[in-house]
Amino acid sequence: PWCETPLQPESFLIQPQLVQLNRGGFLTINSQPSVNGISSSNPTFGWGGRGGYVYQKAYVECFVNPENAQKLLQTVNDNPSMNLYGINSSGKEINAGITEGGTTALTWGVFPNREIVQPTVFDPQAF
C-alpha cells in the first residue's frame, strides 16, 4: 500500500500467492520466485552479463500478527525444506530451519571466467 512502483515482472509469477497471503493477514513487503539456472540474458530474470546462469531461492518477507506468526512457524516446522526467521515487536527471535549463523544467498549467478556472484543474501544480523 505504500509502494508507488508496480510489481516487478518476476513477481507476476507469484502474484496469485501474494494476493492470497495478503488477504490472509500476511502483509507482504518483499518477495521473489524461485529460479533455477535460467539464462542470464532472460528478459525477466537475467542479470550479470551474457553467457551466465542465474538462480534465486523463493522467499517472502512480511508483517504478521502473533497468531499468523504461530501458523507460519507450524507450517515451516511441517516442511523441512522451508526456513523462517522473524522478530516480534519485543525483539524476540522466532525461527525454524535455520542453523547457527544463518547467512544464505538468495540470488546468485554463475558466469564465464568469473567467480560466483551473490548480489542478494539474507543475514539475520542485519535485522
What pLDDT, on the 0 to 100 scale, is given for residue 2? Answer: 60
- Give me the pLDDT at residue 4, please: 78
Neighbour tally for 102: CB within 10 Å: 14
Cα 109 to Cα 28, 60, 104, 112, distances in angstroms: 26, 20, 14, 10
CA-only gyration radius of the chain, Å: 16
CA angle centred on 20, ends 108 and 90, rounded to 5°: 75
Give the three-state DSSP class for 38: strand
Give the helix ranges, DSSP H, for 9-95: 15-23, 66-78
pTM (2 decimals)?
0.83
Beta-carbon count within 10 A of 22 CB: 13
Q: What is the pLDDT along the chain (127 residues), one digit of tens a residue?
A: 567 788 889 999 999 999 999 999 999 999 999 999 999 999 999 999 999 999 999 999 999 999 999 999 999 999 988 989 898 889 898 888 877 666 888 999 999 999 999 998 888 777 6
